Amino acid sequence: MIKYSSEVARAKSENRPIVALESTIISHGLPRPRNYEVAVEVEQIVRENGATPATIALIDGVIHVGLETDQLGRIANDDNVVKASTRDLAVIEMSKQSAATTVAATAHIAHLAGISVFATGGLGGVHRGHTYDESADLTALSTLPIVIVCAGVKSILDVPGTLERLETFAIPVLGFKTNKFPGFYLTDSGYEIEHRVDTVEQIAEIWRNRFELQTNNCSIVVTNPVQNQMDLALHEKILGEGLAAAEKNHITGKAVTPFLLEHFHTASNGESLRVNIDIIKSNSRLAAQIACAL
């Protein structure tokens, strides 16, 4: 059911650390042509930090764990690539479409493939103002034992609402070298995190403790704040305009997040793009280090 890239197949057979990478950020989160370049650069960062990158996507209905260069190019550049969450996977296998996977779907496939560390930019979560718009990322992470490295949840979301949902799902949230919950484009969302860790060895110890305590049925969220954040006033202005534009244009369902991210990249003249790229690179580096420590 799963096709592995030669690189990932080798790492699996030699039992070496692997980092799963999602593909919706490539197809629907970053503009062309930077998206392809970033996807390649992120994989290289994982390798330089001692792990094997496994970018996950569906090509012509087949689940791929690890993409060859031409397949990465297809996910980045083909207009027919759809955004797939967990519920879409079986349908896309049947219809033989190509799809990029969200955090939820990527985490699911990573777990099937025996990979336990995963890097993304910002998690999905509870959307502002829309009571029932809550990313399936949250429910997926509530049932999958993996470590996910992110810069918090996307700042377009209802951050306190999302933190409450993470608590409900008993998903531990760790601040890497911080007690402030990161705000994706911003270093600090304005909300505190109870648990701070300063080394990857501490994360590995928590991972092992969970197995013994049998509190390992869900994910561990490791949050890694961006160093050089977006200008705060610019962020507020663009966010307000973006939310209003989404409402005015009746953007709903899975189109909401790509719409708002695209609005940010255009309206900020590439400033949010710079930050988003910093985030995904830094998270991939940390994920590789965690994979080695596990």
Residues that bind Mn ion (CB under 5 A): 133
Among 12, 28, 108, 180, binds ligand PSU (CB under 6 A): 28
Among 108, 254, 263, 281, binds ligand PSU (CB under 6 A): 254
The reply to whether 22 belongs to the active site is yes
155 binds ligand PSU (CB under 6 A): no
Site for ligand PSU in 127-146 (CB under 6 A): 135-137
Binder of residue 28, out of ligand PSU, Mn ion, none (CB less than 5 to 8 A by kind): ligand PSU
Site for ligand PSU in 60-119 (CB under 6 A): 102-104
d(Cα 137, Cα 123) in Å, to the nearest integer?
A: 7
Q: What are phi and psi of 69, to 5 degrees?
A: -55, -45
The reply to whether 43 belongs to the active site is no
Identify the residue whose tokens are 């219809």: 95
Q: Between 43 and 158, name the residue whose CB sits nearer to Mn ion.
A: 158
Written in H, E and C, the secondary structure of 63-102 is: EEECCCHHHHHHHHHCCCCEEECHHHHHHHHHHCCCEEEC
Question: Which stretch, 1-9, 11-19, 22-30, 219-227, contacts ligand PSU (CB under 6 A)?
Answer: 22-30
The residue from 12, 22, 83, 254 that is catalytic is: 22
* CA 39 to each of CA 71, 146, 253: distance values in angstroms, whole numbers, following the listed order: 11, 21, 25
The residue from 12, 83, 154, 281 that is catalytic is: 154
Binder of residue 53, out of ligand PSU, Mn ion, none (CB less than 5 to 8 A by kind): none
Query: Any alpha helices (H) in the chain, and if so which ranges?
Result: 6-13, 24, 34-48, 69-77, 89-95, 103-112, 136-141, 159-168, 200-213, 232-248, 256-267, 271-293
Q: What are phi and psi of 57, to 5 degrees?
A: -165, 170
Q: Between 25 and 200, name the residue whose CB sits nearer to ligand PSU.
A: 25
Sign of CA dihedral 153, 193, 131, 145: positive
Site residues for ligand PSU per CB under 6 A: 22, 24-25, 28-29, 102-104, 120-122, 124, 135-137, 254, 257, 261, 276
* Catalytic residue IDs: 22, 154
